[in-house]
Amino acid sequence: MQDYSPARIESLKAEWTDRYVRANTAVPELARFGQTVGRVVTVNWNGKAIVDFQDGGWYDITASETYLTKLDPAEAKAKFNPKVNSAQPIPDKQA
């Protein structure tokens, strides 16, 4: 059973929030993300990282190195376009 105490969740938030990640494609349900770079927006109370994969949606994936690989910020930032997500005041995708 996972430890979802407030202290553990705060620890996960500190570790994962605003990190650039790539989903582990060896996990079948994450294979659809391929080599896309995502950014962890936050960690929810279920221990799931809320990840923006630049496709307009946010996905909750267990905040663990089993499911997510942390990337070098300098390398990943060049491959991540923050304007592609849906969390913009006026997203480019809207008319």
41-95 pLDDT per residue, tens: 999 999 999 999 988 789 999 999 999 999 999 888 888 887 776 555 665 555 5
pLDDT digits (tens, 9 = 90+) for 16-25: 999 999 999 9
pTM of the model: 0.82
CATH architecture label of 6-73: Roll (2.30)
What is the mean predicted confidence (pLDDT) over 7-15?
Answer: 95
Q: How does DSSP classify residue 14?
A: H
Please state the φ and ψ torsions of residue 79, each to the nearest 5 degrees: -100, 0
Model pLDDT, residue 57: 83
